[in-house]
Structure 1
Amino acid sequence: MSEGYRTGDRVRTSTVDPDHHMRLPHYARGRVGTVIGGDGVHPLADLSAQGIQQPQQVYLVRFSARELFGHGDHDVTLSLWEDYLSDE
Structure 2
Amino acid sequence: MTFAPGDTVRARTVDVAWHTRLPGYARGARGVVVEVAGAHPLADDRARGLDVPAQPVYHVRFAARELFGEGDHSVVVELWHDHLEGPG
Q: Which TM class, normalised by the smaller chain length?
A: over 0.9
CA distance in structure 2 between the partners assigned to 1:77 and 1:53 by the alignment: 28
Q: Who is 1:36 aligned against?
A: 34
CA distance in structure 1 between the partners assigned to 2:67 and 2:84 by the alignment: 15
Q: Who is 1:13 aligned against?
A: 11
Q: Who is 2:46 aligned against?
A: 48
Q: What CA RMSD, in Å, does the superposition of the two structures yield over aligned residues?
A: 0.8
Mapped pair 1:64 → 2:78: no
Scaled by the length of structure 1, what TM-score is found? Answer: 0.94
Mapped pair 1:74 → 2:41: no
* Displacement of 1:43: 1.2
Q: Give the counterpart letter for 1:63 in structure 2.
A: F
Scaled by the length of structure 2, what TM-score is found? Answer: 0.94
* Displacement of 1:42: 1.0
Once superposed, which parts of structure 1, at least 4 consecutive aligned residues long, lie more than 2 Å away?
none
Percent identity, aligned pairs only?
A: 53
Q: Which sections of structure 2, spanning at least 5 residues, go unmatched?
A: none
Mapped pair 1:84 → 2:70: no
CA distance in structure 2 between the partners assigned to 1:84 and 1:53 by the alignment: 18
CA distance in structure 2 between the partners assigned to 1:53 and 1:74 by the alignment: 38
